[in-house]
Amino acid sequence: MTGAKVAFLHGLPSEVVDVITPYTPDGWTTEVVHRDMPMDEQKAIVSDADFIMVYRAPLGDEVLRAANKARMVQLLAAGYDSMNLPLMAALEVPCANNGGANSWAVADHAVLLMLSLYKRQMHTDPATRQGRWSAPVSGTNTFEMADKLVGVLGIGNIGRQVARRVQGFDADVQYYDLYPLSEERERELDVRRVSLDELFRSSDILTCHTPLTPQTHHIVNRERLAMMKPTAVVINTSRGPVVDEAALIEALQGDRIAGAGLDVFEQEPVDPANPLLQMDNVVVTPHIAGTTWNTWFRRAEFAYRNMRRVWNGEPPLAIAQDFD
């Protein structure tokens, strides 16, 4: 049997592509397909591909239907909300995500947002540069992570990494997930399972790490934000529509919660007129939590290893779930 063909559909710089493609197994081929390539050319390339690997590129239905031999769509990302999972199911082509390859990077970033809010980093940095030394810090408006209760919404690969990190700052962790951990795993991670309402009511920090599905769309909504402590903060490094932005803006403007740290937005790129960008109790970044140089090597290694499993007749890992 000849080696497999991988069609790599992407929107990446060439330097990153050059890191990923050398992981192609011996005897296999990887054909690189930039997202700007004409649709007919994309369809021609995937027509005899055994696997389609995707990152930062739309996988159109026409292209997917043209992939007559595809055994799996392998994502280099964690999120799969842009994939047409029903069509893939109808075509009997499974879709796998990156198996947590970017979980370290996203977890680091979530903690960065927490600490930036607690230590007012977005105020102290410009003040220091402008010669206003300690002006933003009064002694009453900065805080520690120790003894805070961190609520993790979604305890998958990233959520578990966040739990470990905040425990290193002496915080306690509770979580809610549609698919709870076993009691043994909860003891191992030192996390406590609570109801969704309790997560919102009692958490000092609510950090979102759930995939975007019909069930999680606007799971952080007006009603649940109203349950939160006025001293609580919301962190979102998952997907923008997990949080109802209009409700979050209302809660922040009304001082019903203390702040928010956001890497993702309902509209991306974010509208410069978005009120969240004008608030001094909000820290923002441009959907970069999972983007580090280190992740590309792990993403590539996992992706090709997972495709080899399928090629060898083994079940794939990290299959995306459609929560219907």
Hey, what are 304's tokens? 């090709």
pLDDT per residue over 208-221, tens digit each?
Answer: 999 999 999 999 99
pLDDT per residue over 26-67, tens digit each?
Answer: 999 999 999 999 999 999 999 999 999 999 999 999 999 999
The one catalytic residue among 187, 268, 305, 314: 268
Hey, what are 285's tokens? 């970044």
What's the whole-number mean pLDDT along residues 225-244?
98
Position 1 confidence tier, pLDDT thresholds 50, 70, 90:
low
For residue 209, indicate whether it is catalytic.
Answer: no
Q: Could you give the count of Cα atoms lying within 13 Å of 314 in the half-sphere of its Cβ?
A: 9
The one catalytic residue among 193, 222, 287, 308: 287
For residue 41, indicate whether it is catalytic.
Answer: no
List of long-range contacts for 311-314, beta carbons under 8 Å, 24+ apart: 311/4, 311/50, 311/51, 311/71
The one catalytic residue among 120, 239, 298, 299: 239
What pLDDT is recorded for position 254?
97
What pLDDT is recorded for position 250?
98
For residue 239, indicate whether it is catalytic.
Answer: yes
Sign of the C-alpha dihedral computed for residues 188, 303, 288 and 324 taken in this order: negative
Q: In what order do the strands lie in the sheet with 172-176?
A: 192-193, 172-176, 149-153, 205-208, 233-236, 259-262, 282-284
Instruction: Give the helix ranges, DSSP H, for the chain.
Output: 14-20, 39-46, 61-66, 85-91, 103-119, 121-129, 157-167, 183-189, 196-202, 222-225, 245-253, 293-311
Q: Does position 323 have pLDDT exceeding 70, yes or no?
A: no
Q: What percent of the chain shows pLDDT beyond 70?
A: 98
d(CA 189, CA 75): 28
